[in-house]
Chains A and B, each alone.
Chain A
Amino acid sequence: DAGVIQSPRHEVTEMGQEVTLRCKPISGHDYLFWYRQTMMRGLELLIYFNNNVPIDDSGMPEDRFSAKMPNASFSTLKIQPSEPRDSAVYFCASSFYLGTVNTEAFFGQGTRLTVV
């Protein structure tokens, strides 16, 4: 398996534009996470899915952010409209749940978003 795959690796967009980040989790993993990383706030969990269903989106900063997982092999994180303060590295991660214990999360390479 190639691991968690994110696209694009880098995105530069103008304020007000829509941005869509994409993620392909590791095959067989039933959990998918979206994280945002900034110098000021570190790694923040935005939302996570279990079997394609959103479980906890309490970390989504505001209504401009939305995430979907239409099937087990694909997820998107959309920002509309984008703002300069959304500039960050966005990571997608996936893992599977072993009955009663968590397992490690495998991270994608991240998307560096710059909103100008």
Chain B
Amino acid sequence: GENVEQHPSTLSVQEGDSAVIKCTYSDSASNYFPWYKQELGKRPQLIIDIRSNVGEKKDQRIAVTLNKTAKHFSLHITETQPEDSAVYFCAASKGTGGYQKVTFGTGTKLQVIP
């Protein structure tokens, strides 16, 4: 089955700095990579996703990059703000030949220091 590793487990940055979270996956057939943000006491919510036919995707201050050859993908948050403080989860799944379960990374606790 798929194995997703996520680093770092905790990350502290100053407000305005950038934050980068990295994930690796094991199944080369995985082709859908969502990122979820979970604020304290709340549900995980999708913030951005990327499919294997693109290498980068941006949405305002967040971006995700994908390197299929190396089997890793990263989340980049620029100009961090205190409200970015949360736990971020990466995930990987296969989308062809029938639905495959999404495998989550272990999460990164991001703290943005004002």
Contacts and interface: CB of A to CB of B under 8 A. Distances in A.
A91 B45 CA distance: 12
Contacts of B93: 102
Interface of B, secondary structure class, is loop
A102 B95 contact: yes
Interface of chain A, helix or strand or loop or mixed?
strand
A2 interface: no
Nearest to B47: A104
Given A100-B95, A102-B95, A109 B89 contact: no
A104 B46 contact: yes
Nearest to B44: A107
A109 B42 contact: yes
A43 B51 contact: no
Contact of A45 (B94, B95, B99, B101): B101
B73 interface: no
B20 interface: no
Interface residues of A, number: 21
Contacts of B105: 42
Given A43-B107, A107-B45, A108-B43, A101 B95 contact: yes
B46, B93, B96, B99 interface centre (most CB from chain A within 10 Å):
B99
Contacts of B49: 104
Contacts of A102: 32, 93-95, 99-100, 102
Contacts of B32: 101-102
21 contacts: A31-B99, A33-B101, A43-B104, A45-B102, A45-B104, A50-B99, A91-B43, A101-B31, A102-B32, A102-B93, A102-B99, A102-B102, A104-B34, A105-B34, A105-B46, A107-B43, A107-B44, A107-B45, A108-B43, A109-B42, A109-B43
Interface of A: 31, 33, 42-43, 45, 48, 50, 55-56, 91, 97, 100-102, 104-110
Interface of B: 31-32, 34, 42-46, 49, 51, 89, 93-96, 99-107
